[in-house]
Amino acid sequence: MNAEKEKAEKRKAFAVETVGLTKCYGDKAAVRDLNLKVGEGQIYGFIGRNGAGKSTTLKMLSGLVAPTSGEAWLYGKPVSDPVVRRRLGVLIESAGLYPNMTARQNAVMKAKCMGLTDEKSVDEALELAGLAGTGKKQVRHFSMGMKQRLGVALALLGNPDLLILDEPINGMDPEGIKELRQLILRLQEEGKTVLVSSHILGELSKIATNYGIIKDGELIEQITRQELEEKCQDYFQVEVEDARRALPLIQESFSQVQAEVYDSRTIRIYGLAEGVLVNQKLAENRVPVYSSGFHHMDLEEYFLECMEGGKEHA
């Protein structure tokens, strides 16, 4: 097998793969040298600050924006391939819906535009999105959650294997967020791959199996849920006047734990069972403790550390 065939076979293992994907607007690179890998069956959470390049990346993967350089592959084929494009469903930002039509009328119109003649696929998509019972209710009377689920239903027309959802829960109330979360999990159970971006990291952490973190147009980390859980350990945090002066005392007194300076006044201690002993030791050595307590790092805190460069040293 020659090198090109070998590369093609490896790419088939991924629903999405990009190699050096770059998009420039003038002199500014919105996305730079992006190497993204999304495995089949994953719910891949794509996270980053506003302007980090998330939407630009998803638009390139959807064929809506042409890259300046680099390659994007879906199931081992270029994004431009019309055959593989049929395996893709997209909801970028919000769906374009006709407010005076019903959910089914919107879906039938979209299906006809796609060349789908069998309206059975419309009913299947609405059923999967939980909108089969909306009857004659016009979309203008839908809640935000229902509108977003209808957007997902439109993306599901043609029974795609891969869904790309850009900020699908923006502006939704808690009930709508729950509905969409359940829908995404149901889609995964159906064997679909979902690439979803969101600012609501607490919700994303409930469904994502994998994460990609983008900063200033560059992918700084790809991590599985299991790897994230291993990194997000429980820790005891203590705030003192001078963390660097207090650190050697803690390390000497509690050699079995890992202690590190987080900032000039904060120390984090991992593997500690009882925090009161630390407070006692510091007090005995006349080190004032301003606050202390156990914490658990979640996805949001981990993300903020990545954005800010993390702790001062390990």
Cα of 167 vs its chain's centroid, Å: 9
Q: In the numeric block, which tokens belong to residue 63?
A: 């064929």
165-207 confidence digits (pLDDT tens): 998 887 777 887 888 889 899 999 989 999 999 888 888 889 9
Residue-wise pLDDT tens digits, 81-116: 999 999 999 998 778 899 999 999 999 999 998 888
Q: Is 270 helix (H, G, I), strand (E, B) or coil?
A: strand
Tell me the pLDDT band of 313, cut-offs 50, 70 and 90. very low
Residue 14 to residue 5: CA distance in whole angstroms: 15
Q: Extract the tokens encoding 75.
A: 């199931």
User: Token digits for 12?
Assistant: 């088939």
User: Can you read off the two tokens belonging to residue 248?
Assistant: 């050697």
Reported pTM: 0.79
pLDDT in tens, 209-265: 999 999 999 999 999 999 888 877 788 999 999 999 899 999 999 988 889 898 899
3-state secondary structure of 83: helix
- The CA-to-CA distance between both ends of the chain, in Å, stands at 45
Pick 80 or 295 by higher pLDDT. 80
